[in-house]
């Protein structure tokens, strides 16, 4: 579908005309066509001062997302696959699997560490593909098994490699959760106060 939508948009741009005034996109050049076809590299402009103009809480949130992207890239590049497959097959012990097995009815909250939903979805999709390629697993609740066992195991393993720390240190960092900048807390508190004031609550 994305390819079809792109094709249709390009056809509209090329052919769209305004009656009596010629083509609306008369500036559509051969260079633009080459850019869309990928045969010409685009020229990017950088604005060095732009980052400094952003609010501090936005910069902090963006930097954390960029840092987490390194973990996502490592996981998707199969950097944790052997570790995850060993846990699924039972060759490696996992405290997350032990907790999961003991609490089959009552769900125990498991930290995500990564907050961005798109990044979470990418990791989940990759872990699902690993689980589906391992026919020996016997976990009926696949979603819960992935999120409560495989997700924390993959993040901790990635943290250890990407940040050059021990597994124990990586686990401690995972359990502490993401580091929230003071500016983000101030921004959040400010929004809450404004909402309470608007609603008339003390």
- As a whole number of angstroms, the distance between CA 8 and CA 190 comes to 45
The residue that leads in pLDDT, 52 or 65, is 65
Is the alpha carbon torsion for 91, 95, 100, 102 positive or negative? positive
Spatial contact of 123 and 35, defined as CB atoms under 8 Å apart: no
Spatial contact of 112 and 186, defined as CB atoms under 8 Å apart: no
**pLDDT given for residue 3 in this prediction:** 57
What is the chain's mean pLDDT, rounded? Answer: 79
At 37, the pLDDT band (50, 70, 90 cuts) reads low
At 33, the pLDDT band (50, 70, 90 cuts) reads low
Interval 12-19 mean pLDDT: 50
Share of the chain above pLDDT 70, in %: 69
- As a whole number of angstroms, the distance between CA 127 and CA 76 comes to 9
**pLDDT given for residue 180 in this prediction:** 85
pLDDT at 170 over 60: yes
**pLDDT given for residue 44 in this prediction:** 45
Q: pTM of the predicted model, to two decimals? A: 0.68
């Amino acid at each position: 579908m994305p390819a079809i939508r792109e094709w249709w948009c390009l056809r509209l741009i090329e052919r769209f005309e305004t009656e009596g005034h010629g083509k609306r996109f008369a500036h559509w050049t051969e260079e633009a066509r080459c850019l869309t076809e990928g045969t010409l590299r685009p020229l990017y402009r950088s604005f060095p001062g732009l980052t400094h103009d952003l609010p501090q809480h936005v910069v902090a949130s963006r930097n954390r997302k960029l840092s987490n992207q390194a973990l996502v890239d490592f996981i998707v590049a199969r950097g944790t696959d052997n570790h995850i497959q060993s846990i699924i097959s039972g060759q490696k012990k996992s405290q997350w699997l032990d907790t999961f097995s003991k609490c089959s009815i009552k769900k125990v909250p498991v930290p995500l560490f990564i907050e961005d939903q798109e990044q979470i979805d990418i990791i989940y999709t990759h872990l699902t593909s690993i689980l589906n390629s391992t026919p020996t697993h016997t976990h009926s609740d696949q979603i819960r098994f992935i999120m409560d066992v495989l997700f924390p195991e993959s993040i901790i393993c990635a943290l250890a490699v990407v940040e050059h720390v021990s597994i124990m240190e990586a686990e401690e960092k995972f359990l502490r959760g993401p580091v929230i900048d003071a500016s983000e807390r101030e921004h959040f508190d400010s929004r809450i106060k404004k909402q309470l004031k608007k609603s008339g609550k003390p």
